[in-house]
Structure formats: structure tokens, C-alpha cells
Amino acid sequence: MTASGQRVGLDINVRPAANATGGRLVAYILYFRLIGRTGPARALTVTFLVPVFAIFYGALFLGEAVTGWMLLCGLAVDCGTALSTGLLELPRRRHKP
């Protein structure tokens, strides 16, 4: 029962649970498919990029404020991900014999 005395149906509990379970199921299927196609090291980069996209989506859909610190940290995550996957390489120093 709610505070107003109305009876709450089972539907109010089932829908959020089904939504969470269905979303997680789709994410797991896509993630393991990505592991099969690109390998575990490259698929792990998806985990690194989730917070960066969460900031973007929070600003876009929820109107959350984005600070300079968030942008700087997101850039650090992006650069670290690019370096770890080999997408970006640092120049190598040559030693003189």
C-alpha cells in the first residue's frame, strides 16, 4: 500500500527488475562478443571509457555541470587507453653506441 492508501501491484516491482536484468544481459552479450572479436586486452578498454561517457551523458540528458577537472581527467583516461591499446605511441629515444 502507498501513503494514500492505494494498493500497489506487482508490476511496480517487476518492471524495474526486468529493465535492469535485460539491460545487463544485453551488455554482457555485447561485451563477450567484443572479447571474442578483439581479444581481452582491447575489450578491457571499454571499462576504462565508461566513466568518460557517463560524464557526457549526464551533461547531455540530465543537465549536470561539467568542470574543467572532469574534462582533464577524461582526457587522461582517453590518452591512457590509447597508449595501452597501441592506438597512440610515444616516440622512442635512440641510444648512441
Sole residue written with cell 567484443: 34
pTM equals 0.57
Closest CA to 55 of 42, 66, 44, 43: 66
Give the pLDDT confidence of 29-43 residue by residue, as tens digits: 999 999 999 888 888
Domain boundaries, the chain: 11-39, 44-87
**Nearest C-alpha neighbor of 88 from the set 97, 76, 74, 73:** 76
Q: How confident is the model at residue 5 (pLDDT cuts 50, 70, 90)?
A: low
